[in-house]
Amino acid sequence: MDMQRTSAAAAVAALGMLLRSSEAEAPTKVGQLAQWNEVVSIGDTAGSVEKRFLDQPTLPGFIVHAGGKVVGVLSRRTLLTAISQPFGREVFIKRPLHELANYLDNKPLILESNTSIAAALRLAIGRRDDLRFEPCLVKTGQVVGLLEMHTLMLAQANLLEEAVTSRETLIAKIKMILGDH
């Protein structure tokens, strides 16, 4: 009986070590993901913002400031939608961004940096259809970054893949420990 208890205790200790060694290495919080920090003023012209988008083809959007405060997000898609309307280019290109107020996301999803990737993704895809894939803001103290949806979705996919792999590895190790080939 003592030998069975010792063997069971050793198996439990080994399982504990396996569980601790299987902890995720991939980012699990949105604050750990790559973010953009490009900022424009609400007084900047749509033309100057368009030029910055053209100069940086991978840039997803801008954090829009007014008086040192974040007032919204202007994504590439949003600007292109505004200026592609009939007479949109003529109307908006030389005017300040505040005249694009109907297009500006002035209530962007703001996530705390310690928000889990899974929770952030649920919040992001729970937004209205027209905002569902727009960038989110991530707040770390006083610093705000712009998080692309595809970065968030890839992070969630990586976590899921890592969890499945860890589970399979853990099951195989448990079977080895228990002698169940």
Q: Where are the domains of the chain?
A: 30-158
Tell me if the pTM is above 0.75: yes
Confidence band of 180 (pLDDT split at 50, 70, 90) = low
Q: What's residue 106's pLDDT?
A: 82
CA atoms of 6 and 86, how far apart (whole Å) = 79
Instruction: Report the pLDDT averaged over residues 138-149.
Output: 94
pLDDT tens digits, one per residue of 90-122: 888 999 998 887 777 788 999 999 999 999 999
Helices and strands (H and E) in the chain: how many? 6, 6
Confidence band of 138 (pLDDT split at 50, 70, 90) = very high
pLDDT tens digits, one per residue of 17-72: 555 554 547 889 999 999 999 999 999 999 999 999 999 999 999 999 999 899 99
CA atoms of 76 and 90, how far apart (whole Å) = 18
- The H-or-E segment that residue 81 falls in is helix 76-83
The separation between CA 6 and the C-alpha centre of its own chain, rounded to angstroms, equals: 47
Residue 146 has pLDDT above 80, yes or no: yes
Instruction: Report the pLDDT averaged over residues 116-138.
Output: 96
- The CATH homologous superfamily for domain 30-158 is CBS-domain (3.10.580.10)
Tokens (6 digits) for 37:
């920090």
- In the chain, % of residues over pLDDT 90: 59
CA atoms of 48 and 177, how far apart (whole Å) = 64
Q: DSSP assignment, residue 124?
A: H
The CA distances from residue 44 to 37, 65, 74, in Å, are 17, 10, 12
The average confidence (pLDDT) of the chain is 86
Confidence band of 139 (pLDDT split at 50, 70, 90) = very high
- If phi > 0 it is left, if psi is from -120 to 50 it is alpha, else beta; for residue 68 that is left
Tell me the one-letter amino acid at 150: H
For residue 133, which of 118, 122, 121, 149 has the smallest C-alpha distance?
Answer: 149
